[in-house]
Structure 1
Amino acid sequence: MPAALSFETFPPKSLHASFDLWDTVHTLAPLNPRFVSVTYGAGGSTQSLTQEAAQTLRKTAPIPVAAHLTCTGQSKTDVLATAKRYYAAGITDIVALRGDGANGGAFEPAEDGFANSIELVTALSRAGPFNIRVGAYPDGHPDAASQRQNVDWLKAKIDAGACEAITQFFFEPDSFLRFRDACADAGITAPITPGILPVANWASTRRFAERCGTPVPAYIANAFDRAEREDRAALFALTHCADLCDSLLGEGVETLHFYTLNRPELTLKVCRALGLVTPTAALHVA
Protein backbone atom coordinates (compact mmCIF):
# COMPACT_ATOMS: atom_id res chain seq x y z
CA MET A 1 0.00 0.00 0.00
CA PRO A 2 1.40 3.46 -0.88
CA ALA A 3 2.42 5.72 1.96
CA ALA A 4 -0.18 8.17 3.25
CA LEU A 5 0.97 11.75 2.84
CA SER A 6 0.43 15.06 4.62
CA PHE A 7 1.93 18.50 4.04
CA GLU A 8 2.82 21.49 6.18
CA THR A 9 2.45 25.07 4.99
CA PHE A 10 2.84 28.44 6.65
CA PRO A 11 0.42 31.39 6.59
CA PRO A 12 1.02 34.16 4.04
CA LYS A 13 2.10 37.64 5.09
CA SER A 14 1.48 39.32 1.74
CA LEU A 15 -0.70 39.04 -1.34
CA HIS A 16 2.13 37.37 -3.27
CA ALA A 17 2.63 34.89 -0.44
CA SER A 18 -1.09 34.12 -0.52
CA PHE A 19 -0.72 32.97 -4.11
CA ASP A 20 2.26 30.79 -3.07
CA LEU A 21 0.14 29.11 -0.39
CA TRP A 22 -2.75 28.60 -2.80
CA ASP A 23 -0.40 27.16 -5.44
CA THR A 24 1.23 24.83 -2.91
CA VAL A 25 -2.05 23.40 -1.69
CA HIS A 26 -3.56 22.94 -5.14
CA THR A 27 -0.35 21.51 -6.61
CA LEU A 28 -0.20 18.85 -3.92
CA ALA A 29 -3.94 18.19 -3.56
CA PRO A 30 -4.03 15.56 -6.35
CA LEU A 31 -1.70 13.40 -4.21
CA ASN A 32 -4.73 12.87 -1.94
CA PRO A 33 -3.04 13.86 1.32
CA ARG A 34 -4.57 13.07 4.71
CA PHE A 35 -4.39 16.76 5.59
CA VAL A 36 -2.50 19.99 5.06
CA SER A 37 -1.40 21.89 8.17
CA VAL A 38 -0.88 25.61 8.69
CA THR A 39 1.82 26.64 11.16
CA TYR A 40 2.21 29.38 13.72
CA GLY A 41 5.25 31.62 13.32
CA ALA A 42 8.07 31.71 15.87
CA GLY A 43 6.88 33.06 19.19
CA GLY A 44 3.27 32.80 18.03
CA SER A 45 3.88 35.70 15.68
CA THR A 46 1.30 34.68 13.06
CA GLN A 47 -1.63 33.60 15.23
CA SER A 48 -4.26 35.66 13.41
CA LEU A 49 -2.76 34.87 10.00
CA THR A 50 -2.76 31.16 10.80
CA GLN A 51 -6.39 31.26 11.86
CA GLU A 52 -7.41 33.17 8.73
CA ALA A 53 -5.41 30.93 6.38
CA ALA A 54 -6.68 27.71 7.97
CA GLN A 55 -10.30 28.81 7.82
CA THR A 56 -9.94 30.01 4.22
CA LEU A 57 -8.38 26.72 3.15
CA ARG A 58 -11.10 24.81 4.95
CA LYS A 59 -13.65 26.59 2.73
CA THR A 60 -11.76 26.45 -0.55
CA ALA A 61 -9.25 23.58 -0.62
CA PRO A 62 -10.15 19.97 -1.45
CA ILE A 63 -8.04 18.73 1.50
CA PRO A 64 -8.72 18.37 5.23
CA VAL A 65 -7.02 21.21 7.11
CA ALA A 66 -5.08 20.93 10.37
CA ALA A 67 -4.41 24.15 12.28
CA HIS A 68 -1.42 24.65 14.54
CA LEU A 69 -2.10 25.84 18.06
CA THR A 70 0.59 26.76 20.59
CA CYS A 71 0.90 27.95 24.18
CA THR A 72 2.90 31.02 23.22
CA GLY A 73 1.56 34.49 23.92
CA GLN A 74 -2.00 33.54 24.85
CA SER A 75 -3.95 32.81 28.01
CA LYS A 76 -5.66 29.47 28.41
CA THR A 77 -8.98 31.18 27.72
CA ASP A 78 -7.68 32.68 24.47
CA VAL A 79 -6.23 29.39 23.26
CA LEU A 80 -9.44 27.49 23.91
CA ALA A 81 -11.48 30.25 22.27
CA THR A 82 -9.31 29.83 19.16
CA ALA A 83 -9.93 26.08 19.27
CA LYS A 84 -13.68 26.69 19.46
CA ARG A 85 -13.50 28.98 16.42
CA TYR A 86 -11.66 26.27 14.52
CA TYR A 87 -14.32 23.74 15.45
CA ALA A 88 -17.11 26.10 14.40
CA ALA A 89 -15.33 26.51 11.04
CA GLY A 90 -15.23 22.73 10.57
CA ILE A 91 -11.56 22.30 11.52
CA THR A 92 -11.21 19.41 13.94
CA ASP A 93 -7.56 18.55 13.29
CA ILE A 94 -5.15 20.39 15.59
CA VAL A 95 -1.36 20.26 15.75
CA ALA A 96 -0.74 21.15 19.40
CA LEU A 97 2.72 22.45 20.26
CA ARG A 98 4.27 24.33 23.16
CA GLY A 99 5.85 26.82 20.78
CA ASP A 100 9.07 28.76 21.02
CA GLY A 101 9.84 31.96 22.84
CA ALA A 102 9.59 35.32 21.12
CA ASN A 103 12.67 36.57 19.25
CA GLY A 104 14.43 33.23 19.63
CA GLY A 105 14.43 33.39 23.43
CA ALA A 106 13.42 30.76 25.94
CA PHE A 107 9.76 29.84 26.20
CA GLU A 108 7.85 31.66 28.91
CA PRO A 109 4.18 30.90 29.57
CA ALA A 110 1.80 33.77 29.06
CA GLU A 111 -0.05 35.12 32.04
CA ASP A 112 -2.61 32.46 32.91
CA GLY A 113 -1.31 30.48 29.94
CA PHE A 114 -0.52 26.83 29.42
CA ALA A 115 2.89 25.95 30.81
CA ASN A 116 3.62 23.17 28.33
CA SER A 117 2.22 21.01 25.56
CA ILE A 118 0.89 18.37 27.95
CA GLU A 119 -1.39 20.93 29.57
CA LEU A 120 -2.47 22.14 26.12
CA VAL A 121 -3.29 18.63 24.86
CA THR A 122 -5.18 17.80 28.05
CA ALA A 123 -7.34 20.92 27.71
CA LEU A 124 -8.00 20.37 24.00
CA SER A 125 -8.99 16.75 24.55
CA ARG A 126 -11.61 17.94 27.03
CA ALA A 127 -12.78 20.87 24.87
CA GLY A 128 -14.14 18.94 21.93
CA PRO A 129 -13.77 16.00 19.55
CA PHE A 130 -10.46 17.11 18.06
CA ASN A 131 -7.87 14.95 16.32
CA ILE A 132 -4.81 16.18 18.20
CA ARG A 133 -1.34 15.72 16.76
CA VAL A 134 1.83 16.64 18.63
CA GLY A 135 5.50 17.14 17.90
CA ALA A 136 8.22 14.54 18.43
CA TYR A 137 12.00 14.84 18.27
CA PRO A 138 14.08 11.92 16.96
CA ASP A 139 17.36 13.71 17.69
CA GLY A 140 16.16 14.99 21.06
CA HIS A 141 14.39 18.18 22.11
CA PRO A 142 16.76 21.04 23.08
CA ASP A 143 15.04 21.28 26.48
CA ALA A 144 15.19 17.55 27.25
CA ALA A 145 17.91 16.41 29.61
CA SER A 146 18.12 13.01 27.90
CA GLN A 147 16.55 11.03 25.10
CA ARG A 148 14.69 9.00 27.72
CA GLN A 149 13.10 12.18 29.04
CA ASN A 150 12.29 13.18 25.47
CA VAL A 151 10.47 9.89 24.88
CA ASP A 152 8.70 10.03 28.26
CA TRP A 153 7.43 13.52 27.46
CA LEU A 154 5.98 12.28 24.17
CA LYS A 155 4.26 9.41 25.97
CA ALA A 156 2.71 11.90 28.39
CA LYS A 157 1.32 13.91 25.47
CA ILE A 158 -0.16 10.79 23.91
CA ASP A 159 -1.63 9.74 27.25
CA ALA A 160 -3.13 13.23 27.59
CA GLY A 161 -5.17 12.75 24.43
CA ALA A 162 -2.98 13.10 21.31
CA CYS A 163 -3.69 10.60 18.55
CA GLU A 164 -0.46 10.93 16.53
CA ALA A 165 3.01 12.45 16.66
CA ILE A 166 4.81 14.20 13.81
CA THR A 167 8.56 14.46 14.13
CA GLN A 168 11.02 17.25 13.64
CA PHE A 169 13.00 16.80 10.43
CA PHE A 170 16.19 14.74 10.41
CA PHE A 171 18.88 13.81 7.92
CA GLU A 172 19.42 10.07 8.45
CA PRO A 173 16.80 7.30 8.53
CA ASP A 174 18.43 5.72 11.57
CA SER A 175 17.59 8.83 13.61
CA PHE A 176 13.90 8.13 13.13
CA LEU A 177 14.14 4.35 13.36
CA ARG A 178 16.04 4.42 16.68
CA PHE A 179 13.50 6.88 18.03
CA ARG A 180 10.58 4.75 16.84
CA ASP A 181 12.06 1.73 18.60
CA ALA A 182 12.60 3.69 21.82
CA CYS A 183 9.01 4.89 21.72
CA ALA A 184 7.72 1.35 21.22
CA ASP A 185 9.84 0.17 24.16
CA ALA A 186 8.27 2.93 26.28
CA GLY A 187 4.78 1.67 25.46
CA ILE A 188 3.82 4.31 22.90
CA THR A 189 1.36 2.76 20.46
CA ALA A 190 0.10 5.90 18.67
CA PRO A 191 1.41 6.44 15.13
CA ILE A 192 4.66 8.39 14.81
CA THR A 193 4.98 10.06 11.42
CA PRO A 194 8.41 11.18 10.21
CA GLY A 195 8.67 14.84 9.27
CA ILE A 196 10.51 15.27 5.97
CA LEU A 197 12.18 18.51 4.88
CA PRO A 198 13.16 18.56 1.18
CA VAL A 199 16.23 20.82 1.02
CA ALA A 200 15.43 23.62 -1.40
CA ASN A 201 18.17 25.86 0.02
CA TRP A 202 21.07 24.20 1.79
CA ALA A 203 22.42 27.28 3.57
CA SER A 204 19.09 28.19 5.14
CA THR A 205 18.33 24.54 5.98
CA ARG A 206 21.63 24.20 7.81
CA ARG A 207 21.01 27.38 9.81
CA PHE A 208 17.53 26.17 10.68
CA ALA A 209 18.90 22.80 11.80
CA GLU A 210 21.38 24.53 14.10
CA ARG A 211 18.64 26.67 15.66
CA CYS A 212 16.40 23.72 16.44
CA GLY A 213 19.13 21.32 17.52
CA THR A 214 18.96 18.89 14.60
CA PRO A 215 22.45 17.46 14.05
CA VAL A 216 23.86 17.56 10.53
CA PRO A 217 26.18 14.59 9.87
CA ALA A 218 29.49 15.76 8.42
CA TYR A 219 29.26 13.51 5.38
CA ILE A 220 25.85 14.94 4.48
CA ALA A 221 27.02 18.51 4.95
CA ASN A 222 30.06 17.82 2.78
CA ALA A 223 27.88 16.22 0.10
CA PHE A 224 25.52 19.21 -0.04
CA ASP A 225 28.47 21.63 -0.11
CA ARG A 226 30.07 19.74 -2.96
CA ALA A 227 26.80 19.52 -4.89
CA GLU A 228 26.45 23.30 -4.67
CA ARG A 229 30.01 23.85 -5.89
CA GLU A 230 29.34 21.55 -8.83
CA ASP A 231 26.01 23.21 -9.66
CA ARG A 232 23.93 20.10 -9.01
CA ALA A 233 22.35 21.06 -5.70
CA ALA A 234 18.78 20.52 -6.89
CA LEU A 235 19.53 17.02 -8.18
CA PHE A 236 21.36 16.04 -5.00
CA ALA A 237 18.57 17.42 -2.79
CA LEU A 238 16.03 15.35 -4.70
CA THR A 239 18.19 12.23 -4.52
CA HIS A 240 18.93 12.62 -0.81
CA CYS A 241 15.29 13.21 0.15
CA ALA A 242 13.98 10.37 -2.04
CA ASP A 243 16.60 7.98 -0.62
CA LEU A 244 15.72 9.01 2.94
CA CYS A 245 12.01 8.41 2.34
CA ASP A 246 12.64 5.15 0.50
CA SER A 247 14.70 3.84 3.42
CA LEU A 248 11.90 4.72 5.84
CA LEU A 249 9.25 3.08 3.68
CA GLY A 250 11.43 0.00 3.45
CA GLU A 251 11.41 -0.18 7.25
CA GLY A 252 7.64 -0.24 7.45
CA VAL A 253 6.88 3.47 7.72
CA GLU A 254 3.37 4.06 6.37
CA THR A 255 3.00 7.85 6.61
CA LEU A 256 5.16 10.79 5.56
CA HIS A 257 4.71 14.45 6.50
CA PHE A 258 6.47 16.96 4.24
CA TYR A 259 7.53 20.44 5.34
CA THR A 260 6.89 22.24 2.06
CA LEU A 261 7.89 25.81 3.05
CA ASN A 262 5.16 26.80 0.54
CA ARG A 263 7.40 25.56 -2.28
CA PRO A 264 5.71 22.42 -3.62
CA GLU A 265 7.93 21.57 -6.58
CA LEU A 266 10.62 19.58 -4.77
CA THR A 267 8.10 17.76 -2.59
CA LEU A 268 6.17 16.78 -5.71
CA LYS A 269 9.35 15.53 -7.41
CA VAL A 270 10.23 13.43 -4.37
CA CYS A 271 6.76 11.87 -4.36
CA ARG A 272 7.09 11.11 -8.06
CA ALA A 273 10.49 9.51 -7.51
CA LEU A 274 8.98 7.31 -4.81
CA GLY A 275 6.12 6.26 -7.06
CA LEU A 276 3.55 7.92 -4.78
CA VAL A 277 1.88 9.89 -7.56
CA THR A 278 -1.02 7.83 -8.91
CA PRO A 279 -1.82 7.86 -12.64
CA THR A 280 -4.93 9.94 -11.92
CA ALA A 281 -2.95 12.43 -9.85
CA ALA A 282 -0.27 12.62 -12.52
CA LEU A 283 -2.82 13.99 -14.95
CA HIS A 284 -3.45 16.91 -12.60
CA VAL A 285 0.17 17.67 -11.61
CA ALA A 286 1.91 17.09 -14.93
Structure 2
Amino acid sequence: MAQGNERKSKLLGSGDIVVSFEFFPPKTEKMEETLWSSISRLAPLRPEFVSVTYGAGGSTRERTHATVTRLLRETDLKPAAHLTCVDASKEEVDAVARAYWDAGVRHIVALRGDPAQGAGTKYEPHPGGYTNAADLVAGLKKIANFEISVAGYPETHPESPSVEADIENLKAKVDAGADRIITQFGFDNAHFLRYLERARAAGIWVPISPGIVPIHNFKQVSGFAKRAGATVPSWLARRFEGLEDDPATTHLVAAAAATEQVMDLVDEGIKKFHFYTLNRADLVYAICHLLGLRSARTDASANAA
Protein backbone atom coordinates (compact mmCIF):
# COMPACT_ATOMS: atom_id res chain seq x y z
CA MET A 1 0.00 0.00 0.00
CA ALA A 2 1.16 3.55 -0.68
CA GLN A 3 2.53 5.28 2.41
CA GLY A 4 2.94 8.81 3.76
CA ASN A 5 2.40 11.65 1.31
CA GLU A 6 1.96 9.14 -1.53
CA ARG A 7 -1.38 7.90 -0.19
CA LYS A 8 -4.03 8.54 -2.84
CA SER A 9 -6.68 8.87 -0.15
CA LYS A 10 -4.92 11.91 1.31
CA LEU A 11 -5.23 13.81 -1.96
CA LEU A 12 -8.87 13.20 -2.78
CA GLY A 13 -10.95 16.01 -4.18
CA SER A 14 -14.55 16.26 -5.28
CA GLY A 15 -15.02 14.19 -8.44
CA ASP A 16 -12.29 11.63 -7.70
CA ILE A 17 -14.67 9.14 -6.07
CA VAL A 18 -18.03 7.81 -7.31
CA VAL A 19 -20.61 6.54 -4.82
CA SER A 20 -24.01 4.92 -4.88
CA PHE A 21 -26.43 4.44 -2.00
CA GLU A 22 -28.84 1.65 -1.11
CA PHE A 23 -32.09 2.21 0.79
CA PHE A 24 -34.90 -0.10 1.83
CA PRO A 25 -38.62 0.71 1.44
CA PRO A 26 -40.34 1.84 4.67
CA LYS A 27 -42.89 -0.28 6.54
CA THR A 28 -44.35 2.46 8.75
CA GLU A 29 -45.03 6.20 8.63
CA LYS A 30 -42.11 6.86 11.00
CA MET A 31 -39.77 4.77 8.82
CA GLU A 32 -41.02 6.71 5.81
CA GLU A 33 -39.94 9.96 7.46
CA THR A 34 -36.52 8.49 8.30
CA LEU A 35 -36.04 7.27 4.72
CA TRP A 36 -36.83 10.58 3.06
CA SER A 37 -34.79 12.49 5.61
CA SER A 38 -31.84 10.22 4.72
CA ILE A 39 -32.42 10.70 0.99
CA SER A 40 -32.55 14.50 1.42
CA ARG A 41 -29.31 14.40 3.40
CA LEU A 42 -27.39 12.30 0.88
CA ALA A 43 -28.83 13.54 -2.44
CA PRO A 44 -26.60 16.67 -2.56
CA LEU A 45 -23.55 14.35 -2.75
CA ARG A 46 -24.72 13.49 -6.28
CA PRO A 47 -24.49 9.70 -6.20
CA GLU A 48 -24.21 7.80 -9.46
CA PHE A 49 -27.49 6.08 -8.55
CA VAL A 50 -29.54 5.02 -5.54
CA SER A 51 -31.02 1.54 -5.23
CA VAL A 52 -34.13 0.40 -3.40
CA THR A 53 -34.26 -3.14 -2.03
CA TYR A 54 -36.88 -5.80 -2.61
CA GLY A 55 -37.95 -8.17 0.17
CA ALA A 56 -37.73 -11.96 0.14
CA GLY A 57 -40.32 -13.45 -2.17
CA GLY A 58 -41.23 -9.99 -3.46
CA SER A 59 -42.77 -9.14 -0.08
CA THR A 60 -42.02 -5.41 -0.48
CA ARG A 61 -42.87 -5.20 -4.18
CA GLU A 62 -45.45 -2.42 -3.84
CA ARG A 63 -43.39 -0.42 -1.32
CA THR A 64 -40.29 -0.72 -3.50
CA HIS A 65 -42.23 0.47 -6.55
CA ALA A 66 -43.74 3.38 -4.59
CA THR A 67 -40.33 4.48 -3.30
CA VAL A 68 -38.68 4.26 -6.72
CA THR A 69 -41.44 6.17 -8.50
CA ARG A 70 -41.41 8.88 -5.82
CA LEU A 71 -37.63 9.22 -6.30
CA LEU A 72 -38.28 9.79 -10.01
CA ARG A 73 -41.03 12.33 -9.37
CA GLU A 74 -39.52 14.37 -6.57
CA THR A 75 -35.72 14.19 -6.96
CA ASP A 76 -33.00 14.38 -9.58
CA LEU A 77 -31.55 11.06 -8.41
CA LYS A 78 -31.31 8.05 -10.71
CA PRO A 79 -33.10 5.18 -8.96
CA ALA A 80 -32.31 1.50 -9.46
CA ALA A 81 -35.04 -0.95 -8.49
CA HIS A 82 -34.16 -4.36 -7.06
CA LEU A 83 -35.91 -7.29 -8.72
CA THR A 84 -35.75 -10.97 -7.80
CA CYS A 85 -36.83 -14.33 -9.22
CA VAL A 86 -38.35 -15.73 -6.04
CA ASP A 87 -41.91 -17.12 -5.98
CA ALA A 88 -42.94 -15.49 -9.24
CA SER A 89 -43.47 -16.63 -12.81
CA LYS A 90 -41.56 -15.06 -15.69
CA GLU A 91 -44.77 -13.29 -16.71
CA GLU A 92 -45.14 -11.73 -13.25
CA VAL A 93 -41.50 -10.60 -13.12
CA ASP A 94 -41.67 -9.27 -16.68
CA ALA A 95 -44.81 -7.29 -15.82
CA VAL A 96 -43.00 -5.62 -12.90
CA ALA A 97 -40.01 -4.83 -15.15
CA ARG A 98 -42.25 -3.31 -17.84
CA ALA A 99 -44.04 -1.22 -15.22
CA TYR A 100 -40.68 0.13 -14.07
CA TRP A 101 -39.65 0.95 -17.65
CA ASP A 102 -42.97 2.70 -18.29
CA ALA A 103 -42.48 4.71 -15.09
CA GLY A 104 -39.07 5.89 -16.31
CA VAL A 105 -36.81 3.50 -14.40
CA ARG A 106 -33.82 2.52 -16.52
CA HIS A 107 -31.68 0.65 -13.99
CA ILE A 108 -32.45 -2.71 -12.34
CA VAL A 109 -30.49 -4.56 -9.67
CA ALA A 110 -31.17 -8.16 -10.76
CA LEU A 111 -30.94 -10.75 -7.99
CA ARG A 112 -31.89 -14.37 -7.56
CA GLY A 113 -33.28 -13.48 -4.14
CA ASP A 114 -33.72 -15.35 -0.88
CA PRO A 115 -36.54 -17.80 -0.20
CA ALA A 116 -39.64 -16.12 1.21
CA GLN A 117 -39.57 -18.59 4.13
CA GLY A 118 -36.29 -17.09 5.33
CA ALA A 119 -32.91 -18.32 6.52
CA GLY A 120 -32.23 -22.03 6.44
CA THR A 121 -34.70 -22.64 3.62
CA LYS A 122 -33.33 -24.07 0.38
CA TYR A 123 -33.94 -21.96 -2.70
CA GLU A 124 -36.19 -23.59 -5.27
CA PRO A 125 -36.87 -21.87 -8.61
CA HIS A 126 -40.51 -21.13 -9.37
CA PRO A 127 -41.75 -23.77 -11.87
CA GLY A 128 -42.55 -21.08 -14.44
CA GLY A 129 -40.02 -18.54 -13.29
CA TYR A 130 -36.47 -17.45 -13.94
CA THR A 131 -33.97 -20.04 -12.72
CA ASN A 132 -31.39 -17.68 -11.29
CA ALA A 133 -29.94 -14.18 -11.61
CA ALA A 134 -28.20 -14.89 -14.94
CA ASP A 135 -31.50 -16.09 -16.40
CA LEU A 136 -33.22 -12.98 -15.01
CA VAL A 137 -30.61 -10.67 -16.55
CA ALA A 138 -31.09 -12.27 -19.97
CA GLY A 139 -34.87 -11.90 -19.62
CA LEU A 140 -34.66 -8.24 -18.64
CA LYS A 141 -32.41 -7.43 -21.58
CA LYS A 142 -35.07 -8.88 -23.89
CA ILE A 143 -37.71 -6.58 -22.40
CA ALA A 144 -35.80 -3.31 -22.69
CA ASN A 145 -32.31 -1.88 -22.70
CA PHE A 146 -32.07 -1.70 -18.91
CA GLU A 147 -28.81 -0.92 -17.21
CA ILE A 148 -28.37 -3.96 -14.97
CA SER A 149 -26.37 -4.40 -11.79
CA VAL A 150 -25.84 -7.81 -10.19
CA ALA A 151 -24.49 -9.06 -6.87
CA GLY A 152 -21.00 -10.37 -6.18
CA TYR A 153 -19.78 -12.26 -3.11
CA PRO A 154 -16.11 -11.72 -2.19
CA GLU A 155 -16.32 -14.50 0.41
CA THR A 156 -18.48 -16.61 -1.95
CA HIS A 157 -22.25 -16.96 -1.78
CA PRO A 158 -23.28 -19.02 1.30
CA GLU A 159 -24.85 -21.64 -1.01
CA SER A 160 -21.97 -21.83 -3.48
CA PRO A 161 -20.12 -25.19 -3.53
CA SER A 162 -16.76 -23.57 -4.27
CA VAL A 163 -14.94 -20.35 -5.11
CA GLU A 164 -14.63 -21.51 -8.72
CA ALA A 165 -18.36 -22.18 -9.00
CA ASP A 166 -19.09 -18.77 -7.55
CA ILE A 167 -16.92 -17.01 -10.14
CA GLU A 168 -18.50 -19.11 -12.93
CA ASN A 169 -21.92 -17.95 -11.78
CA LEU A 170 -20.72 -14.35 -11.70
CA LYS A 171 -19.40 -14.65 -15.26
CA ALA A 172 -22.71 -16.14 -16.39
CA LYS A 173 -24.49 -13.02 -15.11
CA VAL A 174 -22.08 -10.73 -16.93
CA ASP A 175 -22.25 -12.81 -20.11
CA ALA A 176 -26.06 -12.52 -19.94
CA GLY A 177 -25.75 -8.73 -20.08
CA ALA A 178 -24.99 -7.36 -16.59
CA ASP A 179 -23.32 -3.94 -16.70
CA ARG A 180 -22.00 -3.72 -13.14
CA ILE A 181 -21.25 -5.86 -10.10
CA ILE A 182 -22.03 -4.64 -6.58
CA THR A 183 -20.50 -6.80 -3.88
CA GLN A 184 -21.93 -8.00 -0.63
CA PHE A 185 -20.58 -5.87 2.18
CA GLY A 186 -17.47 -7.02 3.99
CA PHE A 187 -14.96 -5.68 6.48
CA ASP A 188 -11.67 -7.25 5.43
CA ASN A 189 -10.40 -5.62 2.23
CA ALA A 190 -8.19 -8.62 1.44
CA HIS A 191 -11.33 -10.58 0.52
CA PHE A 192 -12.48 -7.90 -1.94
CA LEU A 193 -9.06 -7.50 -3.56
CA ARG A 194 -8.69 -11.28 -4.06
CA TYR A 195 -12.20 -11.39 -5.50
CA LEU A 196 -11.41 -8.58 -7.92
CA GLU A 197 -8.29 -10.43 -9.04
CA ARG A 198 -10.22 -13.70 -9.58
CA ALA A 199 -12.93 -11.90 -11.54
CA ARG A 200 -10.45 -10.18 -13.84
CA ALA A 201 -8.58 -13.46 -14.35
CA ALA A 202 -11.90 -15.03 -15.43
CA GLY A 203 -12.37 -12.34 -18.07
CA ILE A 204 -14.92 -10.27 -16.14
CA TRP A 205 -14.22 -6.62 -16.95
CA VAL A 206 -17.37 -4.73 -15.92
CA PRO A 207 -17.02 -2.32 -12.97
CA ILE A 208 -17.00 -4.01 -9.55
CA SER A 209 -17.99 -1.78 -6.62
CA PRO A 210 -17.28 -2.89 -3.04
CA GLY A 211 -20.26 -2.82 -0.71
CA ILE A 212 -19.66 -0.80 2.46
CA VAL A 213 -21.89 -0.82 5.54
CA PRO A 214 -21.18 1.51 8.47
CA ILE A 215 -21.70 -0.34 11.78
CA HIS A 216 -24.35 1.75 13.53
CA ASN A 217 -25.18 -1.23 15.78
CA PHE A 218 -22.50 -3.91 16.08
CA LYS A 219 -24.78 -6.76 17.21
CA GLN A 220 -27.28 -6.10 14.42
CA VAL A 221 -24.73 -5.66 11.63
CA SER A 222 -22.66 -8.69 12.71
CA GLY A 223 -25.93 -10.68 12.55
CA PHE A 224 -26.46 -9.45 8.97
CA ALA A 225 -22.88 -10.45 8.19
CA LYS A 226 -23.30 -13.97 9.56
CA ARG A 227 -26.40 -14.59 7.46
CA ALA A 228 -24.66 -13.20 4.37
CA GLY A 229 -21.50 -15.27 4.85
CA ALA A 230 -19.31 -12.23 5.52
CA THR A 231 -16.69 -12.56 8.26
CA VAL A 232 -16.31 -10.01 11.05
CA PRO A 233 -12.59 -9.86 11.93
CA SER A 234 -11.77 -10.21 15.63
CA TRP A 235 -9.87 -6.93 15.59
CA LEU A 236 -13.01 -5.16 14.37
CA ALA A 237 -15.17 -6.80 17.06
CA ARG A 238 -12.72 -5.58 19.72
CA ARG A 239 -13.20 -1.99 18.58
CA PHE A 240 -16.86 -2.18 19.59
CA GLU A 241 -16.39 -4.03 22.90
CA GLY A 242 -18.16 -2.35 25.81
CA LEU A 243 -20.18 -0.01 23.59
CA GLU A 244 -23.45 -1.96 23.65
CA ASP A 245 -25.22 0.83 25.56
CA ASP A 246 -23.26 3.74 24.09
CA PRO A 247 -24.67 4.53 20.65
CA ALA A 248 -22.91 7.91 20.37
CA THR A 249 -19.43 6.37 20.75
CA THR A 250 -20.45 3.41 18.57
CA HIS A 251 -21.21 5.84 15.74
CA LEU A 252 -17.86 7.60 16.15
CA VAL A 253 -16.02 4.27 16.06
CA ALA A 254 -18.14 3.12 13.11
CA ALA A 255 -17.31 6.24 11.10
CA ALA A 256 -13.61 5.78 11.83
CA ALA A 257 -13.63 2.07 10.92
CA ALA A 258 -15.54 2.52 7.66
CA THR A 259 -13.44 5.52 6.63
CA GLU A 260 -10.26 3.54 7.24
CA GLN A 261 -11.65 0.70 5.13
CA VAL A 262 -12.60 2.88 2.15
CA MET A 263 -9.39 4.94 2.31
CA ASP A 264 -7.33 1.74 2.18
CA LEU A 265 -9.31 0.64 -0.89
CA VAL A 266 -8.74 4.03 -2.52
CA ASP A 267 -5.01 3.47 -2.01
CA GLU A 268 -5.44 0.19 -3.90
CA GLY A 269 -6.95 2.06 -6.85
CA ILE A 270 -10.68 1.57 -6.07
CA LYS A 271 -12.79 4.61 -6.94
CA LYS A 272 -16.40 3.40 -6.83
CA PHE A 273 -18.21 2.46 -3.63
CA HIS A 274 -21.74 1.24 -2.88
CA PHE A 275 -23.00 2.17 0.58
CA TYR A 276 -25.62 0.07 2.33
CA THR A 277 -27.10 3.01 4.22
CA LEU A 278 -29.68 1.06 6.29
CA ASN A 279 -31.66 4.30 5.83
CA ARG A 280 -29.20 6.09 8.15
CA ALA A 281 -27.56 9.05 6.50
CA ASP A 282 -25.22 10.74 8.97
CA LEU A 283 -22.52 8.06 9.09
CA VAL A 284 -22.50 7.68 5.31
CA TYR A 285 -22.41 11.44 4.80
CA ALA A 286 -19.39 11.80 7.12
CA ILE A 287 -17.48 9.03 5.33
CA CYS A 288 -18.25 10.52 1.91
CA HIS A 289 -17.03 13.91 3.12
CA LEU A 290 -13.71 12.34 4.12
CA LEU A 291 -13.56 10.76 0.65
CA GLY A 292 -13.57 14.23 -0.86
CA LEU A 293 -17.23 14.43 -1.87
CA ARG A 294 -18.91 17.77 -1.31
CA SER A 295 -22.55 18.68 -1.28
CA ALA A 296 -23.93 20.38 -4.39
CA ARG A 297 -25.18 23.15 -2.07
CA THR A 298 -21.67 23.65 -0.67
CA ASP A 299 -20.20 23.87 -4.18
CA ALA A 300 -22.83 26.41 -5.21
CA SER A 301 -22.07 28.57 -2.17
CA ALA A 302 -18.33 28.45 -2.88
CA ASN A 303 -18.82 29.46 -6.51
CA ALA A 304 -21.03 32.38 -5.50
CA ALA A 305 -18.49 33.70 -3.00
TM-score by length of 2: 0.89
Stretches of structure 1 that go unaligned for 5 or more consecutive residues are none
SS of 2:117's partner is helix
Is this contact kept in 2: 1:66–1:91, CA < 8 A?
Answer: yes
Tell me what 1:175 maps to.
191
The 10-residue stretch of structure 1 (83-92 or 142-151) with the greater mean CA deviation from structure 2:
142-151
Tell me what 2:11 maps to.
none
Does residue 155 of structure 2 align to residue 139 of structure 1? Answer: yes
Tell me what 2:255 maps to.
238
The 10-residue stretch of structure 1 (272-281 or 236-245) with the greater mean CA deviation from structure 2:
272-281
1:171 CA displacement: 0.4
Is this contact kept in 1: 2:56–2:86, CA < 8 A?
Answer: no
- Aligned counterpart for 1:254 among listed residues 271, 277, 292: 271
- Aligned counterpart for 1:155 among listed residues 147, 154, 171: 171
Is this contact kept in 2: 1:36–1:63, CA < 8 A?
Answer: yes
Write the distance in 1 (CA, Å) between the matches of 2:251 and 2:244.
8
- RMSD over aligned Cα, in angstroms? 1.7
The Cα offsets for residues 231-250 of structure 1, whole Å up to 9 and x where unpaired, read as 73222111110000001111
Write the distance in 2 (CA, Å) between the matches of 1:129 and 1:10.
25
Is this contact kept in 2: 1:193–1:255, CA < 8 A?
Answer: yes
The Cα offsets for residues 92-144 of structure 1, whole Å up to 9 and x where unpaired, read as 10000000011312222223111111110010111101000000000110111
The Cα offsets for residues 48-101 of structure 1, whole Å up to 9 and x where unpaired, read as 111111111111122001000000121100101110000001001000000001
Q: Output the amino acid matched with 2:108.
A: I
| Residue correspondences, number | 284
Does residue 150 of structure 2 align to residue 123 of structure 1? Answer: no
Q: After the TM superposition, list the runs of 4 or more consecutive aligned residues in structure 1 that deviate by more than 3 angstroms.
A: 226-231, 278-284
The Cα offsets for residues 173-199 of structure 1, whole Å up to 9 and x where unpaired, read as 111111101101111000001111011
The Cα offsets for residues 141-187 of structure 1, whole Å up to 9 and x where unpaired, read as 01111111111111110010000000000001111111101101111
TM-score by length of 1: 0.94
The Cα offsets for residues 212-261 of structure 1, whole Å up to 9 and x where unpaired, read as 11111122112222555887322211111000000111111121110011
Is this contact kept in 1: 2:44–2:296, CA < 8 A?
Answer: no
Does residue 84 of structure 2 align to residue 70 of structure 1? Answer: yes
Stretches of structure 2 that go unaligned for 5 or more consecutive residues are 1-14
Structure 1 or 2, whichever has the larger Rg, is 2
Identity of aligned residues (%): 42
